[in-house]
Amino acid sequence: MTVEELIILGKKYTSSTHAKMLLAILLEVNPLELLTILDKVVEEDIVNLYKESLEALSENRPIQYVIGHVNFYGLKFKVNESVLIPRFETEQLVENIKNYLEKKGLTNPKILDLGCGSGVIGLTLKHFFPNASLTLTDISDEALKVSKENANNLNLDVNFIKSDWLSNVPIDKYDVIVSNPPYIMINEEIEEIVKNNEPALALYGGVDGLDCYRSILKDINNYLKEDYLIAFEIGYLEGSKLQELINNTITNSKVTIKKDLSNKDRMLFVEKNID
């Protein structure tokens, strides 16, 4: 079958955008390039994989799980049903941490990524700061398996710890502690495709969405250097309540809440207050 015939076939199962995206990934080209190779005959094994993937998409499985990997900050990461699908908002979180480290001139920072999932946050930072000392933790064996595979694929030397937040992490001092923990409130409405496919363990953060932050904050003072950054991804309704928790936990701290591209509160940063 040709590229054009496969695109037409794909539209019977899913949207034109997803059909082209899927085919472009399997052919390892940019989706826009498909228009220049419409007459190209596609190898039979790729045709079969494309058809199988279309069937999965028609069953309302996320395209990222169907394909088995995502592009995050220009890097290729494996994902499966054991880990969350990285969002663009998380790339913004990484961008802010990267800017902080560059501003501070820290080329070999100690970084702790709590609840790492697929490892996209910590491993991306390690990619840009190869001399960093990076520790990634997660409570899920399956998530750690995915993140370890991603570290190997990116040739990054990092440390992994199975831990329920800080419970199994030896006390040490870190320049950056980052986490994108479960923060969806139990009764909060979310998309069906998310609820039915992504791991509940990585989604829900209790009645008010703050349970995981409480678990992290209760011990966090033992892990902070004199000058530090704590970076959290947050639910868009949780900023002020989380700021109050932090003010009651970390003395002499400065809290900054930043919005995502949808103008919703999405990131919270804590630094030492030097005013």
Domain parsing of the chain, residue ranges = 3-59, 73-272
Q: What is the pLDDT of residue 30?
A: 82
Low-confidence spans in the chain with pLDDT less than 70: 275
Its CATH architecture, for the domain 73-272, is 3-Layer(aba) Sandwich (3.40)
What confidence score (pLDDT) does residue 66 get?
A: 85
pTM for this model (two decimals): 0.88
Amino acid at residue number 216: I
pLDDT given at position 109:
98
pLDDT at 88: 87
- HSE-up of residue 183 (Cα within 13 Å, Cβ side): 21
How confident is the model at residue 79, as a pLDDT?
96
- pLDDT at position 275 is 67
Q: What is the pLDDT of residue 195?
A: 76
- Close Cβ partners of 249 (under 8 Å, ≥ 6 residues apart): 217, 218, 220, 221
pLDDT in tens, 237-272: 999 999 999 999 999 999 999 999 889 999 999 999
Task: Determine the pLDDT at residue 28.
Answer: 85
The answer to whether 90 touches 117, Cβ cutoff 8 Å, is no
C-alpha torsion 87→124→94→163, nearest 10: 80
The pLDDT, as a whole number, for residue 58 is: 84
| Cβ partners under 8 Å of residue 42, min gap 6 | 1, 2, 3, 6, 27, 50
Q: Report d(CA 91, CA 115) in Å as an integer.
A: 16
Q: Given the structure tokens 């995050």, which residue do they identify?
A: 72
Tokens (6 digits) for 58: 């028609």
